[in-house]
Amino acid sequence: MSDKKRLFSLWRELYPENTMEKLDTFLSKTEQKAAAKYDGGTDWYKDAVIYSLYVDLFNKDFSGLIDKLDYLEDLGVNCLWLLPILDSPMRDAGFDIRNYDRIRADLLGFQRGYDKEDQVRVFGNFLKEAHRRGIRVIFDVAINHTSDQNPWFQEAKKSEDNPYRDYYIWSKDTSLYGEARLLFKGIEDSNWEPLGDWYYFHRFFSFQPDLNYRNPEVLLAMSKNLLYWQSMGVDGFRADAIPYLWKEEGTDCENRPKTHTIVKFFRAVLDYAQPGSLLLAEACQKPKEVVRYMGNGDECHAAYHFPLMPMMFKAIAMGSHQPIRYTLSPEVTPEIPAIGQWLTFLRVHDELSLELVYVSEEDRKYIHENYCYKPEWDFRVGEGISARLSELMQRDERKIALAYSLMLTITGSPVVYYGDEFGKFNDETYYDEQIKLTGKDDTRFLVRGHIDWKKLETDLKDPENFHFRVYQMIKSMLNTRKEHIAFGRGDTKFIDVQNADGKLPEQVLAYLRSAKDDNILVLNNLSDKPVKIKHPLPENNVFVLNLNGFSYDEQQQTFLLEPYGFVWLGVL
């Protein structure tokens, strides 16, 4: 079925009572282009090493970001995930979008009210410079909700018969959608916010009203915004909060069938205009639900593996491979479409999430007790921990490197959160500033904050400095990973290793990554004790690709992994 026919079919599923004229008119104005030609074709995301950053916190604006593209290229990055850049009052770090077709003026070096042609010039130049270095660019789009400062909402609240009223969800009965869970437990008291005699529905902050996708105008308006940025050269979009798009009374309003229809529509629109634009699912759900957002290869191309992240932390705390091996077993993680891809991460701009939607109460409690070292790190009443990777690992370089060894090698495409490559600490000053600015005690502000480049440049010249040592390790690992297709495209086969007594040491997580002729054996010691194991593949020749805390006794044919040590071995 062609993309155009697919669009009409999906439209009928969502709006059977509507004529096709609206969609036909929309598509007649949509220009079609060939797929982007440079580096990697349409499944480039499988070889991506993604770096996530806030433009302003990273280096002020897009001009400053251009200045650091060489740093990022040298680090081993080939894809940038720009955290919210669209016009916003910034009450939720930019996820409260005021205008979908405008970038925040300060990021462009302008004042509000700038000429849109200037946006094309400045942002277009940034895209050109990134692409020239082989670096793709994706960014966040919150498609579930807007800011209450969005012109749509400003119009909607004027009167009940305003044309934009139906862009949002209104009721005088706050028991409607009563089974929808409160996502910001401890921060918001309800999913309904009063406005005059009415209430509007929201799943996140009260200043972020949810969009009403029962209105076809909303779907077309959001599609138009995606196409605008695609036409400028953006390589893809992180679809924020997609499980909540379609609301149905009597349900929890998550993962509804028509939510998937909406996602398929967005994918088909992007493919219709220009194949190769990544659609990335931010679906904080169990893998069996997340896999559905890849559909049959006709929804999102990729999705975050949310449960794997906390299980990597649990495995290190326990000194056991069991949490990771179980999480990646078919029992928990179903097979994904051939064009699909998992994204792995250790830290992002949010908390270390321990939502009970994908971790058990036992796991939540264990991880929280083992990593929430300070009361102020607590988020959502025990369902998260707001701390940078270096803080969670108690600034232990061995544990940081081990965590990266897991994240970079075990499956999918990795996401590096800005600053973690040099062990950035929690930023308490920024946290205090943001509480005053937003009026919300959101502990996630601890994991954000500015990079002091002048200080960092000094730190990275000092071999005795903590940040230097972390940076050198992570940079080496990223560049090694980028050179091997097995890490992004290969199968993962867990193997059992034996110690000198023939026993199976639980603290060693071992696996083979294989794609075509690229075969790599990865060994990780998850414990704080050294462990000696027999050569797992004595019939094969192996060679070191990367290591930390590893040595080989050729005479005894044994490997020694120091506490939190690891090794990546090429296999012939």
Verify whether residue 428 is a known catalytic residue. Answer: no
Residues 6+ apart with CB under 8 A from 512: 491, 492, 493, 495, 519, 520, 521, 522, 571
d(C-alpha 239, C-alpha 296), whole Å:
18
User: Residue written as tokens 């982007």?
Assistant: 36
Count of Cβ atoms closer than 10 Å to residue 538 Cβ: 8
Please, which residues bridge with residue 542 across strands? 571
Secondary structure, 3-state, 189-231: CCCEEEECCEEEECCCCCCCCEECCCCHHHHHHHHHHHHHHHH
Verify whether residue 240 is a known catalytic residue. Answer: yes
Supply 505's token pair: 């040491």
User: Residue written as tokens 């990973």?
Assistant: 481
Of 240, 254, 271, 421, which residue is the catalytic one? 240
Contact 459, 465 (CB under 8 A): yes
Q: Give the DSSP letter of residue 217.
A: H
d(C-alpha 226, C-alpha 100), whole Å:
9
Of 96, 193, 282, 442, which residue is the catalytic one? 282
Phi–psi pair at 77, nearest 5 degrees: -85, 140
Q: How far is CA 460 from CA 65, 67, 119, 197, 467, in A?
A: 19, 17, 34, 58, 7
Supply 499's token pair: 């110690």
d(C-alpha 379, C-alpha 372), whole Å:
10
d(C-alpha 302, C-alpha 278), whole Å:
8
Indicate which residues carry an active-site annotation: 240, 282
